Amino acid sequence: MKRNSFIILQCLLATVFVGCLLISCGKKNKNAAMPQVKYETKVLKPETRTYSITFPATLEGTSEVKVYPQVEGIIKTKNYTNGARVHKGQTLFIIDPTEYRLNVQSAEANLSAAKAKMETTKLQYESNQELYAKKVISDYVLKTSLNDYNVAKASVLQAEAQLNIARTNLGYCTVTSPLNGVIASNGFDVGDLASRGNYLCQVSDNSNVDAKFSFNETQLLQLIKQFNLRVTGRGLEGPKGQLIGDAMPALKLKLKDGSTYEHDGKITKMDAIVQQSTGTVTCTGSFPNPDGVLRSGLSASVVIPISSDSVICVPQTAAVRLQDQMMFYRVKKDGTVESVICNTFPSNDGTEYYITDGGLQPGDEVITNGARKLSNGMKIR
């Protein structure tokens, strides 16, 4: 019995010792300092960069004309292949001319009859002049014959006009191309009815191709400042009065397959007014198209290269996107952080953002990693 009591006492003492040991270790772990997260930072300063701004664009021929028939009728012939190059004056369609030839013949007959009547009234008037001089007829008869002659002359003029209209309509039966370019059919073929309300085809002069693109007002202000543009009676011009295309760098065109078009372009028009409905500015860049590679309706991207020796660059890992703006965290003197909203351009290689407008300035220290874990007022050091 004493032996059993001794064993139980040993067990109780061992249990108490282990419990104290665990409590002691727990206190040590609780009191141990938690490892502090180290945030990387960068002190901002002006840097030299050559970067580019890319805008989605739609391509259009310099001149695009929809070809409408001037007369109605059944299409007898179609003389082109869709997508082919055509030249100015080339015959595209022939509309059945039968009715219009008959109209010409009828107008010619009416003109002949009018001329014959005019000659008759002329002879009558001349004869009455002689009789009136001899006092054979009255003044009333002479004036009546003169009026008949004048009416006959007017009828001739009217008949001539009707003949010209008939001949013009007959000529309209041959539909020709209004310019040199590439043709796109509107689905009409031989046997279809051509009518004035529906265009037959479209011809695009794509010897030069316009790229239409838009950018927001912040980007407009950035370009105006970057290239010292000013508004004049001719629109936006360079600092020396040169046209905007000569004041800005050559444009690049990136095609949908990722390739860069071999010919450079230039801006030909840039609106100085922001459209209130969209908040954007419309711009047109022109590119030569000697080989016909570019076609109207294609999508591409216009690239504007910009060089600067005073760019504020921030790593993209430092940014938190807020719709079309970026948020960064700036380190204050007391070791806490505050959020700053900025407008940016992405870099060519996708590693940096270039600050175009916002609260970041040279000398600011920003967090370059772990920005999503931060909040205003958090102390990092």
- pLDDT tens for the chain, 381 residues long, are 444 444 444 444 444 444 444 444 444 444 444 345 678 899 999 998 888 888 999 998 888 899 999 999 999 999 999 988 899 999 999 999 999 999 999 999 999 999 999 999 999 999 999 999 999 999 999 999 999 999 999 999 999 999 999 999 999 999 999 999 889 999 999 999 999 889 999 998 888 999 999 988 777 877 887 788 887 777 778 888 888 888 888 999 999 999 999 999 999 988 767 788 888 888 999 999 988 888 888 999 999 888 888 889 999 999 998 877 899 999 999 999 999 998 887 776 778 888 877 789 999 999 998 888 888 999 887
Give the CATH number of the domain where residue 98 resides. 2.40.50.100
In a domain, 14, yes or no: no
**168 and 233 in a common domain:** no
Q: Which of 266, 283, 308 is the last residue of a domain?
A: 308
**293 and 195 in a common domain:** no
Q: Which of 284, 308, 332 is the last residue of a domain?
A: 308
- Please check whether residue 229 is in contact with residue 236, taking contact to mean a CB–CB distance below 8 angstroms: yes
**165 and 113 in a common domain:** yes
**290 and 229 in a common domain:** yes
- Please check whether residue 289 is in contact with residue 207, taking contact to mean a CB–CB distance below 8 angstroms: yes
Q: What is the DSSP letter of 371?
A: G
Place of tokens 């020709």: 176
**Spatial CA neighbour of 212 closest among 152, 291, 285:** 285
d(CA 158, CA 102): 18
Residue range of the domain that includes 229: 53-62+204-308
d(CA 345, CA 50): 12
- Structure tokens of 103? 């109209």
**69 and 162 in a common domain:** yes
Residues 6 or more apart from 3 whose CB is under 8 A from it?
Answer: none
In a domain, 78, yes or no: yes
In a domain, 265, yes or no: yes
pLDDT reported for residue 34: 39
In a domain, 356, yes or no: yes
In a domain, 325, yes or no: yes
**Spatial CA neighbour of 312 closest among 346, 362, 366, 364:** 362
Question: How many domains in the chain?
Answer: 3
Q: Which uninterrupted H or E stretch holds 155? A: helix 139-172
In a domain, 16, yes or no: no
* CA dist list (Å): 300 to 34, 190, 239, 303, 373: 54, 36, 30, 10, 38
**318 and 355 in a common domain:** yes
In a domain, 33, yes or no: no
pLDDT reported for residue 121: 97
**302 and 214 in a common domain:** yes
Give the CATH number of the domain where residue 354 resides. 2.40.420.20
- Please check whether residue 287 is in contact with residue 301, taking contact to mean a CB–CB distance below 8 angstroms: no
pTM above threshold 0.85: no
Q: Which of 262, 279, 308 is the last residue of a domain?
A: 308
**209 and 301 in a common domain:** yes
In a domain, 3, yes or no: no
**168 and 83 in a common domain:** yes
Strands, E assignment, 82-136: 85-86, 91-95
Give the CATH number of the domain where residue 286 resides. 2.40.30.170
**244 and 123 in a common domain:** no
d(CA 74, CA 109): 26
**111 and 189 in a common domain:** yes
Other CB atoms within a 10 A radius of the CB of residue 373 amount to 11
* CA dist list (Å): 291 to 205, 222, 262, 288, 320: 13, 35, 11, 9, 45
pLDDT reported for residue 36: 58
pLDDT reported for residue 53: 82
**143 and 121 in a common domain:** yes
| Cα-based torsion angle of the residue sequence 210, 216, 222, 224 in order, rounded to the nearest 10 degrees | 50
Per-position b or e across 30-39, b if 16+ CB within 10 A of its CB: eeeeeeeeeb
